[in-house]
Structures are given as C-alpha cells and as structure tokens.
Amino acid sequence: MTHDGAAKRLTRRCARDPPPFLDDFDAHMTLLQRTTFALHALVLLNIPQVSPAQDPMAGMAMGDTTRMVMSPLGVSMDRLGSGTTWIPDAVTVPSARFMTGGWDLMLHGFIFGQYNKQSGPRGGDQFGSVNWGMFMASREVAGGRFQVRTMLSLDPATVTTHGYPLLLQHGAAHDESTGGHEGHGEISDRQHPHDFWMELGVMYERPVSDNLALSFYAAPSGEPALGPAAFMHRPSAMDNPFAPIGHHHQDATHISFGVLTAGVFGRAWKLEGSIFNGREPNEERWDFDEITLDSYSGRLTVNPDSNWSMSAGYGYLASPDATSPDESIRRFTAAVLHGRKLGTEGQWASTLVYGVNRSSSFNTVSRSVAVESEAILDRRNTILARAEFAQKSAKDLAVDLAPYGFPQERQFPVTTLSFGYIQELVRVFGATLGLGAMGTMNRVPEDIEEVYGSRTPIAGVLFLRVRPFHRPGGMAGMHDMHRH
Ligand SMILES: [Cu+2]
C-alpha cells in the first residue's frame, strides 16, 4: 500500500545553504522579509537548542543530524499543503530550505505582478500584485516534529482592500466602501484580497507507534480541516494568479481567525477534527480579527501512493457573513489530487474539487466543481488550465438588487474555462522569473446576459511571476541539487 516503507519512515531531509533569493524579490517584499526574519530570530532566541547528541530522534538518523529533520511515519514536509492538508508526495510547491541550529527553515513565496482585464459592464481592469510568502521553522521536540509557521500577504496593499476584478467571483464585504453592494454586503465579480496574516500557527506531529501518529495544530490565523489545500498551495494551481470561482464552496476557510485541529494519522491516511472561527475575515485586512471557536469540521485524507491524495470533509460554519449574522452554512467538500514527475525538472499536477454549501437562511444548496491542471514541462515552459462549474445565487452575483430584482436565493449556473502559459525568463539564485498569460472564457445563463453584457464574457491576465524554482521532489532531488 505505501511507498518506500520502513526506509521512508526514517527519511530525513537534507538541507541546502541559505539561498539569497529573497534579495531578488521586488520592493513589496521588504516588509515580509523583515517580518519573517524577525520571527525567525524570535524562534531561535526563545527555544533552547538541542544538540544532536541530546536529540531524542538522533538514534534514527543516518548521517549528520544537525542538517536533517524527521518525517513522522514517513510523512515528509513536502506532503504538507496549506494548514494541515496533504498533497501527493510526487509533486511539490517549490521552496527554499536551509538548516540552522537544529531548525529546518523553509521559505515559500509567490509574487505575481499582473495586468488583469475582465470584460463587460461587470468587469474592470487593474494593475496589481497578488503575492504571499510563507516561513516555516521545524525541529524535533520530544520525539515529534514541531513546526512554527507564518504566511503573509501584501494583497491588501497591492490589489487594494477591494481585491481584484474576477467575473463571477463573490465573497463577503461590509459595504460599498470595501467593494460590497449597497443593500447587502456581498462583493460580486471581484476576489477579496487575502489578509496580511494569512497564517500564524504551530503544529506538532508525533508517532505513538509504528503505524500511528497524532497531530495538533493551533493557529490564531490559520486553516481548519475543511476542503483541500487552498488553491495557492496546490501544485495544480500554484502558478495561476487567480482564485477559483468556487473558492467560497471549497477552500475559503483557509484564513480563519482561530483554529484548533487534532488528528490521528498513519503513513497513508489522516483523520482530523477542528473547531474554528467560521466568520470570514473582516475588511480590516492588516490586523487579527477577534478570535472565536464557534464552528467545527472534520476531514479524512488518504494518500494511497505517492501520486494521489484524496480527501472528504464536512463543516459547520456558524455565521460566516457579518452582514447576515443569523445565516449558517453547512459545507461538504471532496477532492482528488494527482501528481507525477515529468522528466528531470518538471511535474504535472491535477485536482478535482467538489464543494457544496447549504445555507440555513434559504435552505438552498449550491454546488461547485473545479478541475485544474498545471504542468511544468521543463525548465522553461509551464502550462495551466482550470475549468469550473458553480451555482451562484442572485445575492452572490448582486442581481437581487434593482434594476434586476431576482429573488436572493435564485441560483444561476455559471462556468469558466481558463488556459495559461508561463515562460521562464531567468533564474537568479534560488528564484525563477517567468512571464505568463492566461485567458478565461465565462458562460452565464440567458437571464443575466444583460448584466454581463454577453453570455460569454471573457477575461485575460498578463503577469510576471517570481517564485523559488521547482526542484524534483524527494531525497533524490535534494541530492541532485548538491551536484549542480
Ligand atoms: Cu481566500
């Protein structure tokens, strides 16, 4: 059933020298850089160092323990997606990694600088940047893997607090001043900016037997066990600058201000439960919202081999939208992620996500399905695609308002289809700079043709993307790196 068995359990990841790739990030990163390094310093100052000789896991190690970190039951750090999600072992979200003082430090980050144009009366255009940086520090503590992590985004500044134009997308907003429509608090045809504090949390995973381990995750800002890895953390979507329009059926809880998750896992499965804050982040995107634990979720994930990861989960969101506080949502999601290596430098990842929301207010059910795929063909060429179907309510699309006046709960089936291509321009230190373009064709029902100016409103985005370059996953890949 599982891949490399016992050998994998003992797997320790090799580290690399600190790459100065952050130096090449644009000026937006200065704050992020400062913050992550300040956190790094805090972590190093506050936690006593454990030398290799005292290291409780040292007996398991082969080679230099100061440059490795354990993988509980063979679950390597590369399997970890956003929050406590898993992705297939065969594919990775590129990162830069190095060791210092017993800590395994990992930096992830993507910066897109984009010109985005969405057609029709509901469209718009914007020069902006969607971006995120993630810093993880892991070490062995009492026989387990302890991890402190933070994920930060400058979106509120770089795509504004109104977010970016994205036809058929919806979300919660307080009022017109933050992109909501007068009359109700929905934001329509735009994607919200992510909060500066996308994640701040700790995780601890510890084997309790040869086949069983426990995991704990606590985050003032983080992701409960609901939905697949958030889109920016999926190898099938990481180079796509835009959120899926099914975001609010599928993975929108990835920023929740208050999350506690406990889980049990084996080499190939994980069962988790969370209590968390079901309220969507408010419009103050730079700060922490009030932390409450009013909602719950559960999720089962199965990684039967290195190419597949499947999950299904259910969640109760007590009061997600501040403008309709009495409304609760029950959400079911299921996802299948597939990944494989492609040649020596590439990978191909695909995801199928299904999400369904049941609203307590209208007792309506709305569904969405997304299929997406990204292939890093070789060093220079990456292609990506996403197709979606979603049921959006009149409220979601703000067509309940005058002059349209559809009943709020009326559902409209919409679809989108996007294709994109990215060519690498240059590699500097650990980073790759790519030039990309993506085109989208949407389709709306006849009843709202007038609203969108067409049955098939189109959109396009042209972008530069900076991220750590992709390395073949796994130990072999790490060793390869040392030869270059
Ligand atoms: Cu989001």
Q: Which tens digits make up the pLDDT trace of 120-132?
A: 999 999 999 999 9
Residue 28 has pLDDT above 50, yes or no: no
What is the C-alpha separation between 352 and 236, in angstroms, rounded? 10
Check if the beta carbon of residue 202 is closer than 8 Å to that of residue 250. no
How close is the Cα of 232 to the center of ligand 1, in Å?
9
Classified as helix, coil or strand, 103 is: strand
How close is the Cα of 244 to the center of ligand 1, in Å?
9
What is the predicted pLDDT for the residue at 45? Answer: 37
How close is the Cα of 283 to the center of ligand 1, in Å?
13
How close is the Cα of 99 to the center of ligand 1, in Å?
31
Residue 294 has pLDDT above 60, yes or no: yes
Residue 59 has pLDDT above 70, yes or no: no
Residue 203 has pLDDT above 70, yes or no: yes
What is the predicted pLDDT for the residue at 249? Answer: 95
Whose structure tokens read 């321009």? Answer: 425
What is the predicted pLDDT for the residue at 2? Answer: 39
What is the C-alpha separation between 239 and 26, in angstroms, rounded? 18
DSSP 12: B
Specify the range with the lowest mean pLDDT, choosing from 27-31, 43-47, 318-322, 353-357: 43-47
Q: Which one-letter amino acid corresponds to residue 139?
A: R
What is the predicted pLDDT for the residue at 430? Answer: 82
Q: Which helix (H) or strand (E) holds 39?
A: helix 29-46
How close is the Cα of 255 to the center of ligand 1, in Å?
7
Check if the beta carbon of residue 155 is closer than 8 Å to that of residue 110. no
How close is the Cα of 323 to the center of ligand 1, in Å?
18
β pairing state of 295-302 and 308-317: antiparallel
**Percentages helix, strand, coil for the chain, rounded to the nearest 5?**
15, 45, 40
What is the predicted pLDDT for the residue at 175? Answer: 56
What is the C-alpha separation between 112 and 110, in angstroms, rounded? 7
How close is the Cα of 364 to the center of ligand 1, in Å?
23
Residues in the chain: 484
The percentage of residues in the chain with a pLDDT greater than 70, rounded to a whole number, is 80
How close is the Cα of 477 to the center of ligand 1, in Å?
31
Residue 221 has pLDDT above 90, yes or no: yes
Residue 251 has pLDDT above 60, yes or no: yes
Please give the average per-residue pLDDT across 334-350, as a whole number.
Answer: 95
pLDDT digit string, tens, across residues 381-418: 999 999 999 999 999 999 998 889 999 889 999 999 99
How close is the Cα of 473 to the center of ligand 1, in Å?
27
Residue 421 has pLDDT above 90, yes or no: yes
- Note the Cα 176 to chain centre separation in Å: 28
What is the predicted pLDDT for the residue at 31? Answer: 46
Angle (CA) 142 147 150, round 5°: 160
How close is the Cα of 154 to the center of ligand 1, in Å?
13
How close is the Cα of 476 to the center of ligand 1, in Å?
34
Tokens standing for 406? 């559809």
What is the predicted pLDDT for the residue at 83? Answer: 96
What is the predicted pLDDT for the residue at 215? Answer: 97
What does pTM read for this prediction? Answer: 0.83
Find residue 215's DSSP bridge partners: 205, 263
pLDDT digit string, tens, across residues 169-200: 998 765 555 455 555 557 899 998 998 999 99
What is the C-alpha separation between 7 and 299, in angstroms, rounded? 28
Check if the beta carbon of residue 471 is closer than 8 Å to that of residue 477. yes
Which segments of 223-265 does DSSP mark as H helices, in order?
Answer: 247-250
List the one residue out of 134, 88, 92, 89 whose CA is nearest residue 111. Answer: 134
**Number of independent structural domains in the chain:** 1
Average of per-residue pLDDT values in the chain: 84
What is the predicted pLDDT for the residue at 470? Answer: 75
What is the predicted pLDDT for the residue at 122? Answer: 94
Residue 138 has pLDDT above 70, yes or no: yes
Residue 293 has pLDDT above 50, yes or no: yes
Domain CATH code at residue 433? 2.40.160.10
pLDDT digit string, tens, across residues 227-240: 999 999 999 999 99
What is the predicted pLDDT for the residue at 183? Answer: 52
Please give the average per-residue pLDDT across 53-81, as a whole number.
Answer: 62
Q: What are the phi and psi torsion angles at 29 (to 5°)?
A: -80, -10
Q: Containing domain of residue 216, as a range? A: 5-483
Residue 480 has pLDDT above 90, yes or no: no
Q: Band of the pLDDT at 13, cuts 50, 70, 90?
A: very low
Give the residue with greater pLDDT, 28 vs 439. Answer: 439
How close is the Cα of 194 to the center of ligand 1, in Å?
6
What is the predicted pLDDT for the residue at 284? Answer: 83
What is the predicted pLDDT for the residue at 440? Answer: 98
How close is the Cα of 451 to the center of ligand 1, in Å?
25
- Note the Cα 193 to chain centre separation in Å: 14
Instruction: Give the end-to-end CA distance of the chain in Å, rounded to a whole number.
Output: 34
The percentage of residues in the chain with a pLDDT greater than 90, rounded to a whole number, is 66
Residue 316 has pLDDT above 70, yes or no: yes
The radius of gyration of the chain's CA atoms, rounded to the nearest angstrom, is 22
Which segments of 72-130 does DSSP mark as H helices, in order?
Answer: none
Give the residue with greater pLDDT, 285 vs 425. Answer: 425
Residue 33 has pLDDT above 90, yes or no: no
